[in-house]
Structure 1
Amino acid sequence: MDINPNSSGKSPLTSTSSQVPEPAARRLIDRLNSQGNNEQVSISYKAQKLDLIRAEFFSSTIRSDQIPALTQRLFEDGLINSEQLQSLGGFSSTPVSAVSESVHFLNNFILNESVDGDTEGAKSLLSALEVIEQMNAPATAGRREQEKQALEFVGNYTEMLKETEAPADIIKGFEKVTEVLVTLNKVRSNEAKTGALASYASVEEAHKALYEDKPKQGNNSA
């Protein structure tokens, strides 16, 4: 599937390790840049994710207090679904955050072979995923450019999905990713004005105000 529309407790995503390894998305982007076309992006990506999980959680005997972080990681990495997450006790008291939901969707989309054979589309999607995973990082000029490109790509692709009448769950997933990227862009703009650094928590709070509270306000005013 060609996904390139231009072609013819702990905060989510926070590593439990003191040394944060290079994300799987960035590793695969670098590999695609160096090796060119890869017909089996999903296989390479899954192998890298499993290697990172093995190194972080299973280098020694896993402790009981690591289980919540492991289950959340498996969900965000697209390796288990929301029902399996709930059965393992993940997010038992609070709903899945918009950020975690978007990361899960993008990872699952890649792992389901949706970008196999489409190297440029895969790189664009992996770059968007990296933007969300790294939103806690300082906003350098290069990072801001990557964030803007990710928003443009995902927004264009979402519109293309609607035009081609893609499955509703896929459209809904990309709409959620677009919302998160739009929210991140707004938080970054505010960061430049006030100096308040963007974080998973600030993006989640802003997303709630932008997208989740509006229907409630509308109902109250009716």
Structure 2
Amino acid sequence: MRQLSFVEPGTVRWEETPDARLETPDDALVRPLVVTTCDIDHAIVHGLVPFPGPFPLGHEFVAEVVETGGAVRRFRPGDRVVVPFQICCGRCDRCTRGLTGSCRTAGPGAAYGMKPTGGDWGGALADLVRVPFADAMLVEPAGGGPPTAVASASDNLPDVWRAVAPFLAESPGADVLVVGGWGRSIALYAVAIARALGAGRIDYIDTIASGWRSRSGSAPAASRARRRAAQARSPSR
């Protein structure tokens, strides 16, 4: 099968590798339908994260179930699923407390597409992906929308939800400050979720803030701050 791998900063390469296969009765094989890039993928490819290559890329995706092991009960071939980027068993004491990133069975930090820290689980940019603990891992997308709308439900969308939603639940209509920069997709999701949850004023700070108001409804606070700073530095006439 084909698999896209990070080789070194600035270089990725399609490679032929052995087909993914079922290894335990709890496994499922899935065929990625839509894969989106996370902010950390860009950082890896551009050498901003000190990860040595080569290793498979991709960890946010929607897929179709191709085959299931004998112990899988919740899913069957043909099902469309969101595949969380963290590998977790769903049964250990940490998983049952919601600490899926610290699963005792898979190991802390186990994840797709980040072999140096997440282990050798493969990546989403491949013809096939093995999903261990399929009944615990796989999520059926709600609403029946296009897979492109929920690809980031593997990682970025829930990250942003837990960063924004609990605080707006405590303080409905509160103003929100979103700091962009390195993680721009996460920052823009934060703006969208804050708006959807009824936030008051939303300020977005970034080094390229011009135009954000028309696209996201947030005020480009950084642009105003830079203009004021430039005016303060200008010599008086």
Both structures adopt the same fold (TM-score exceeding 0.5): no
Question: By percentage of residues, which structure has more strand?
Answer: 2
TM-score normalized with structure 2 length: 0.25
Greater RCO (CA < 8 Å, at least 6 residues apart): 1
